Amino acid sequence: MENNMTVEEITASLRTLLTAMPEAQRITSINQVKVALHECSPFKNEPVDCVIWMKTQEIKANDYNPNNVAPAEKALLNTSLIQDGFTHPIVATCDESTDQFVIIDGFHRFEISSKAGELNKRLKGYVPVVLMPQVNNDKNRRMAATIRHNRARGRHQINAMAEIVRELSQLGWDDSKIGIELGMDTDEVLRLKQVCGLFELFSHRQFSQAWTVK
């Protein structure tokens, strides 16, 4: 394309080019165009600026999500996706250690979309995804990002939340850092540690002298 072409002319040429492509190639090319636009966007630091379509086989669930959805709510989510369409893309990041895309937020949307049925057929086996490159190859930060996405709207299984707090604690995060990253106060962090019942989680905590009645 010539450098003196207007945006309107470039858009028209691009539309003609994309329309003539086979569907799979068209989806790939549209993703490439979105990424190129994203790179020069004034909002390129915002993941939602670039929503791409990915095959469900390219994405895997994380192994730590404590968010629990009741059957009735999951059925309502399915109805919403069918009736209203995808209004919230799945949030994922590339785990460079495995070169796979791991879900940060949107597991239940992903799960419903992956199953054979009306929605999967309509989406042609794809799901809309935004990528968070800033948490690449760092499971601790992926876990924290998932909790932050979930806490504002989801319900968490206490044992699963406690397990995450245990793991972060054992990886060297103190109570203050865990609370800041996961949106908890120190008392909530302490209660979740107590759920684990692990002595090593309290090894650095100072306790007052206990008293007993003789």
- Please name the helix (run of DSSP H) or strand (run of DSSP E) that holds residue 189, with its range, or none: helix 186-196
Rounded CA separation 43/49 (Å): 6
pLDDT at 186 (0 to 100): 82
pLDDT at 145 (0 to 100): 84
How many CB atoms neighbour CB 102 within 10 A? 19
* Tens of pLDDT, residues 102-114: 999 999 999 999 9
At residue 1 the predicted structure's pLDDT band, cuts being 50, 70 and 90, is very low
Least confident of 22-36, 92-106, 126-140: 126-140
Q: Tell me the CATH number of domain 51-156, given options 3.90.1530.10, 1.10.357.10, 3.30.2130.10, 3.40.50.1100.
A: 3.90.1530.10
Whether the Cβ atoms of residue 104 and residue 92 lie closer than 8 Å to each other: yes
At residue 33 the predicted structure's pLDDT band, cuts being 50, 70 and 90, is very high
pLDDT at 199 (0 to 100): 44
Which residues 6+ apart lie within 8 Å of 85 measured at CB?
A: none
Adjacent-strand bridge partners of 103: 92
Q: Which of 13-17, 102-106, 132-136, 163-167 has the largest mean confidence? A: 13-17
pLDDT at 53 over 60: yes
Domain boundaries, the chain: 10-44, 51-156, 157-204
Which residues 6+ apart lie within 8 Å of 178 measured at CB?
A: 165, 168, 169, 184, 189
